[in-house]
Amino acid sequence: MGWNSDTDSIPYVHRMYEDEDACAGLIKNCDVLMLGWTGQDKASLTERLIKERLDSGKPVIRVSERIYREGRWKAISPRGLKAKYEEHIKYKNSPVYMLCAGAYVSGDFSLIGAYPGKMYKWGYYPPLRQYTDEALDEMLYKDGDQLRICLASRLIKLKHPEFAVTAAEILREKEIDFHIDVVGDGPLAIALSKEIRQRELLTNITLHGAVNPDKVRDIMEKSHVFIFGSNYLEGWGAVVNEAMNSACAVIASSEAGAVPYLIEDGVNGLTFDNCDENELRKKLTDFINLSTEEKRALQKNAYKTIETTWNAKCAAERLLSFCKSITGGTNYNTPKDGPMSIAKVLKAPGFIRTLKEDNHLE
């Protein structure tokens, strides 16, 4: 994503604030302009150049997370609609396309009539780790193994870190030999630690705090299950990619942006709705009741999903093919699933659902 990255040595990175002429030329004259969120003032040179490009009729590909994450009812705002018209709706009949970085993005833009028939699945692509068949087999659950579970996130309300305690109580009730690793830090760390002590789960749950990304992946590789509890405010959730790549059977909230794209319930993971503890209990119980071979199949299918389809190489190849089709006037051979497949409109959590959560981004 570029945070804390030194890009000085990367030859293809150009900064507007260092070389306006070169950057302006690239925006105006490139075959395809791909736009993320710029965060620029509308009067800035960058924004003016982008508007000129959009008005020119030359191909533009936009990438976006949800625009109504806190509720689609916000689409009724006249001021907001005016801004959305200028940025999105105005170009619905132009060669401007939307890559949806989350499963509910297409629904947000469909609500305002933007990008009809021109929205495609997209996402985030953490580094891919590939394993030999022998190494993969070692990562899968075996009879007699202690069941290893992982959660990794900032410890904030929208990510529901308390699900670690929920899971531990279920497993203890069922007399399962287990251990849970919780990776991450945040404002709920103290409360979570206190809850673990009060429920006498210190030997079952380890709080690792914040660790570096490689260490997170190492912990995932030693886990059989990954619990992902983020609500609808989670635009994507790249830890789901990483956990699946680590051959974890992910038990995930269906509200987070990555989940409907990456997980088919019962095939390569399990999903539960509304961040409901009872739903999580049911899905974890379902996993426990699977045979060893069924558990291993979920893990293996999770790994294959990332290894074969939802990775940077596959996404880049498909994007390049798409760019060649829109610049060359040829038909794009749309894949059935994965990056650059059609982004279907999915129903997002409604107004009543938002009243049940702390409905603001942290």
- The string of pLDDT tens digits covering residues 192-212 is 999 999 999 999 999 999 999
Residues contacting residue 277 through CB under 8 Å, at least 6 positions apart? 163, 166
pLDDT of residue 2: 45
Judge whether residue 118 has pLDDT over 90: yes
pLDDT of residue 360: 82
In the chain, alpha helices (H): 20-29, 45-56, 78-87, 105-111, 133-139, 163-173, 189-198, 213-221, 238-245, 259-262, 277-289, 292-308, 312-328, 351-354
Judge whether residue 40 has pLDDT over 80: no
Beta bridge partners of 63: 99
pLDDT digits (tens, 9 = 90+) for 326-346: 999 999 999 999 999 999 999
Closest to 246 measured CA to CA, from 318, 148, 332: 148
Greater confidence (174 vs 73) lies with 174
Judge whether residue 4 has pLDDT over 60: no
pLDDT of residue 362: 73
pLDDT digits (tens, 9 = 90+) for 224-259: 999 999 999 999 999 999 999 999 999 999 999 999
pLDDT of residue 151: 98
Beta bridge partners of 180: 149, 205
Lowest-pLDDT range of 127-131, 239-243, 316-320, 356-360: 356-360
Lowest-pLDDT range of 71-80, 173-182, 196-205: 71-80
Between CA 311 and CA 308 the distance in angstroms is: 7
Cβ–Cβ under 8 Å, residues 181 and 149? yes
pLDDT of residue 334: 97
pLDDT of residue 10: 87
Residue 39: pLDDT band by 50, 70, 90 thresholds?
low
Greater confidence (39 vs 129) lies with 129
pLDDT of residue 333: 95
pLDDT of residue 44: 85
Lowest-pLDDT range of 112-116, 198-202, 318-322, 349-353: 349-353
Q: Quick one: tokens of 159?
A: 């990510």
Judge whether residue 1 has pLDDT over 60: no
Three-state DSSP state, 27: helix
